[in-house]
Structure formats: C-alpha cells, structure tokens
Amino acid sequence: MRAVRTVDGVFDVVEVPEPDGDGVLVEVASAGICGSDLHMEGFGLPTTFGHEVGGRTADGTTVAVRPTRTCGSCDRCLVGEVQQCRDMALYGLAMDGGMADRLLVDPTCVLDLPDGLSAADACLVEPVAVSVHAVASAGVESGHRVLVVGGGTIGLTAVAVARSVGADVDMSARHAHQVEAAERLGAGASPSGEYDVVVEAAGTESALVLAIDHARPGGTVSLPGVYWDGLALPNVMTMFLKEVRLVPSSMYGCTRGVHVQGVGPIDQDADPAGELHAAARLLADEPELAAAVVTHRFGLDEAAEAFRVAACRSAGAIKVVLEP
C-alpha cells in the first residue's frame, strides 16, 4: 500500500504494510495538505501524514475522518470540551493518517456525511470544523461586523462560517487569488473601521497587529492560526486600552452557540463531533465553498509535487488535495 511519509527529511511516497487490527477501514478518496503538514516535514515523524481525510467504508458509505481520537473520560471530555482532551491522539501525527490508499480508524472517528457532499470534498470537513469552532468560541452573532485576516483555507472557511451565522464579513488577504476566493464567498475585500470580531487566521505577528488594530473597544480577536515561530505579543497598549479579548481556538468539538445552516448548538453530552457535522452540513449546502477553496488536486504518486505547490501561496495555491 502507498503512503506519504518523510524520507531523509522530505515528503515521499513509500510502500507500507496494509492496515491491520481493530477499527473501520476507510478507502481514502481525498486528503488535504494542511499548513501544519508543511511545517512538520522536517520533524522526522515515522507515521503517515494526513489529518484532513474523506473516503468510503467497505459498504460504500461516504465518510469523513475525525482525526482527534479523544478519551471521553477526562475532566475536559466530561464537560463537553473534547478539543481540550488530556489524552488526545491525532491521526496523521501520533497515528498513521490518510495520505495513503487506506486508513484504519476508531469507529468513533468515522463520520457519515449528508447528501450532496462528495468523497472528493469530504477532506474539507476537518478544516471547516476548525472555523466553526473559531467562530463559535468568539461569539459571532447575526449582525456582527467580522474581519478575517489571512486568505488561506482557515481564513476562507471562516468567511463562509461567519456569513452563515448572519455576520457581515470582510477579508484582509495578501494574494490576489485569495481575495478573489473571498469575494466568491461573499466577503468584502477592503477592510475599514472597527469590527466586533476579528479572526486572525494567518498565524503571524503582523496579522495579529492588524487584528488588534481593527477590533472595536471590547471586541474579540479569535486565534485559530498557529504561531509556529512563537510570538512576542504586539501592540499591547492598544489591546489594553481597548480591552480587546484574545480567544485562542483549538480544533473542534461540540458546537457552542453557533447556528450553521440550521445546525444548532449541541448538548455537551451529545456527539463530540458536533462541529464536524456542522462543517459537513455547510459544505453540502454551499458547494461554492469547496469550489473556492480547492485550487489543486494531485494523485497520490504526485505527492512531492503537491507539497511543493502547497508551499507556494504566491503561485495560486490555497487548498491542495491528494486523491489516491
């Protein structure tokens, strides 16, 4: 079986044994390349990459994979904050991920999908769920002015999620193709004035400076972006004087007060994948989202070229997908 791993510090396709053991076997149809995958190329991980995964089970059911295997018994899981699980394991990091022909996953991590969402686009459920959680934890409501900083996958999906809640959304992006994609999703391309919520999806100090500057007094800056190089907290005095709240947002779990295309808040004792289900519903109801975000598709044997393209934002890449 083919799988994408790092060989001598670079991505390559290698032959690995077929998955074996307990779980559900998923025939992979799509696996997205995430920015975190690009950053982890040199980490020397022994596992198969890929945590954004769509595919089919043995009976032909189209599914997405929840890559966060949570314990369900720690204090954070028991209060419904499964994204804070103390014993979480991640497919594509601690365990083999979905950049392969097949993937074996825990039954709790297999998500049936709504009609209208193809296996080719099911890999987007995971990144959209990141934005569902960011928008929910920031308290975005209908009528809010929202600015999204960063035109990558998380930024663009945050545009779609915030608009589905009823917010008026603008985008600040670096590249022309990102601005064009944001406009396709209904965002304004000329940020101005103050915003109730700013989603900082770029993960850079300059983006955080812009986010704090545009937040209204008492406003919120949501932080789903990952600061791989660390961060010296910028413009602290501005943040202090305006009492801007910085709200880190990690992964996804049960929905928290955000209504996405008719999917309301889910009780903390219900499905821990609630925000992933909300993401799947949004993708099924808004096909323009996948069309705007996915810019390139490659076969699994072309993984090295796919990673090269994914790392070159100036060349027009947003979401690059591998299709075994």
Structural contact between residues 128 and 277, judged by C-beta atoms closer than 8 angstroms:
no
Closest CA to 81 of 71, 96, 92: 71
In terms of CATH, what superfamily is 2-126+260-323? Medium-chain alcohol dehydrogenases, catalytic domain (3.90.180.10)
pLDDT reported for residue 270 = 54
How far apart are the C-alpha atoms of 29 and 323, rounded to whole Å?
A: 5
pLDDT reported for residue 315 = 78
Closest CA to 32 of 312, 224, 294: 294
Which class for 161: exposed (0-12), middle (13-18), buried (19 or more C-beta within 10 A)? buried
Q: What is the DSSP letter of 51?
A: S
Fold of 139-248: Rossmann fold (3.40.50)
> For each of the chain's 324 residues, which pLDDT tens digit applies?
999 998 887 888 999 999 999 999 999 999 999 988 888 876 778 999 999 999 999 999 999 999 999 988 898 888 888 889 999 999 999 999 999 999 999 999 999 999 999 999 999 999 999 999 999 999 999 999 999 999 999 999 999 999 999 999 999 999 999 999 999 999 998 899 999 999 999 999 999 999 999 999 999 999 998 887 777 777 788 888 899 999 999 999 875 444 444 444 444 445 778 899 999 999 999 999 999 999 999 999 999 999 999 998 777 999 999 999
Ordered by start, the domain boundaries in the chain are 2-126+260-323, 139-248
Structural contact between residues 104 and 43, judged by C-beta atoms closer than 8 angstroms:
no
Structural contact between residues 320 and 298, judged by C-beta atoms closer than 8 angstroms:
yes
pLDDT reported for residue 237 = 82
pLDDT reported for residue 255 = 59
Structure tokens at 227: 């600061």
How far apart are the C-alpha atoms of 250 and 92, rounded to whole Å?
A: 17
How far apart are the C-alpha atoms of 310 and 318, rounded to whole Å?
A: 7
Q: What are the residues whose beta carbons fall under 8 Å from the beta carbon of 308, sequence distance 6 or more?
A: none
- Paired sense of beta strands 62-65 and 110-112, if any: antiparallel
